[in-house]
Structures are given as C-alpha cells and as structure tokens.
Amino acid sequence: MDNYKTLEYLEPQADGTFKFIESGNPTNGNQLIEIPEGAQIAYYFGAEYNHISFYKKVGKTVFVINPNYKDWKETSYKSIDEVPYQYVEGFVVWQRPTQDQGLISGAEAMIAALDDKEVEYRWVDGSCNWRPFNDEDWSVEDLKSGTYSFRLKPQTIKLELEIPAPYKAKIGGRDDTSFVLNVGRHQYLYQNEDDYTKARNALEAAFDAALGGNNS
C-alpha cells in the first residue's frame, strides 16, 4: 500500500500574500509554512499577533491550530466564517477549494481514460464548457496543477415506458386501500395491485438499464 502523502505549504510573497505549493522547495528562498492535515482555511492576523492560524470544522465543532498550540484546539466558534469578525486585522490567506459532487482527481481521470471510460475536463473557474479528455495530451504536472476539474462524462438514456396511469396525491393524502408507488417526494396511487406491479417493474427495469444492468 502506498503511504506517500503530499505535503502542502504556504509560501510568503513579497507583496504580503501567500502562495500555495505542494512541495518542500521554496521558489524564492522564503520560509515555508506547512498546512496542517485537515485544515480548511487559513487566516493571517496582523500587527497584534503576526501569525497564521489554521481552522477546520468537524461536525459542529471548529478547531484551530497556530504557533501557540502543538495540536488542534477546540474553539467556541459555531462556523469558520465567524473567525475574522473577532479580529480587526484578520483576513483569509488560503482556503481549500470545495470538491464539487461528481468531480474526480487528475489521477482518477487518467486511470478512467486508460480504462476506456469517457472523461471530461474544464478550467476550475468554470470559464469554459466541459471538453473531452485525451490521456495522451496530459502531463503529470498538468493533472496535479489544480488548474482543471475532471469528471466522468454523464451518461443519459432515453426512456419510453408504457405503464398504467396512476392518480397522484400529496404525501399523506391517500386512503388505506391504495397501492402506493413512491418516486422522490411524490406518491403515485393505484387502485389495484396488478397495475401497481406493472408500473413498479417497468420503472425498476429502466433504472437497472441506466446502471448498466447492475442491480445490487
């Protein structure tokens, strides 16, 4: 099993900002500030404190770590967004990007493409449409750069179903003699079990087809 872990750092810049890097080699000779594992955001507190504090939220609890603490320390904050309002000169210098649902890493994109799966990419700022991913066009540096987002190409199927017509009622608005087919937040009612079974089986078959026949 590969236990290698990429270390993350903030590198102070001449203009007072901090550059995010994923290596142990500073680009301009400045001392690097290691980002603690699990950190979600970093605030710099100016003249009075002159240090960076890292924060993370686990469940409903916000934790902090900075030069004053060896380990993560629980805070009284309910949200990470509350932090800067406690300090006049506090401001964000780094924040971990939120992983959108359905996105995959660059390494996963390459593996999927080599496995003949259709993969797409676009710039992380969303400034272009999703484009086909060609594994021959990408270097390791590009895949790890954080400049691009990757995903498996969404699969769609066209359905034409013939099912008995139900009558629709709001949740809770049915009688005890109805046969109920639940779809999302809606309930579709049938007066007899035969029509209910035909509709259910047709929908299950359609969903199985969308999953490639895998019904686990």
Q: For 43-52, 182-191, 201-210, which range has the lowest pLDDT when averaged over its residues? A: 182-191
Segment 45-67 shows an average pLDDT of 83
Q: Tokens 């309002």 belong to which residue? A: 85
At 74 the pLDDT is 92
Q: How far apart are CA 44 and CA 49, in angstroms?
A: 9
**pLDDT single digits (tens) 102-114:** 788 888 999 999 9
User: What is the residue extent of each domain of the chain?
Assistant: 9-95, 103-152, 167-210
* Residue type present at position 30: N
CB 150 within 8 A of CB 108: yes
* Residue type present at position 15: D
- Pairwise pLDDT comparison (14 vs 25), residue with the higher score: 14
**pLDDT single digits (tens) 145-157:** 878 889 998 877 6
Please give the helix or strand (H or E) that residue 128 lies within, else none.
Answer: none
pLDDT at 213 over 50: no
pLDDT at 38 over 80: yes
Segment 183-188 shows an average pLDDT of 61
Q: How far apart are CA 7 and CA 25, in angstroms?
A: 11
State both tokens at 83: 């932090």
Q: How far apart are CA 93 and CA 78, in angstroms?
A: 21
What's the pTM value of the predicted model, to 2 decimals?
A: 0.44
Q: What sections of the chain are H helices per DSSP? A: 106-114, 140-144, 193-210
CB 52 within 8 A of CB 10: yes
**What residues contact residue 92 under an 8 Å CB cut-off, 6+ apart?**
41, 42, 43, 84
Q: What sections of 60-216 are H helices per DSSP? A: 106-114, 140-144, 193-210
At 2 the pLDDT is 40
At 4 the pLDDT is 46
**pLDDT single digits (tens) 72-84:** 999 988 877 777 6
Three-state DSSP state, 190 = strand
- Pairwise pLDDT comparison (88 vs 60), residue with the higher score: 60
pLDDT at 41 over 70: yes
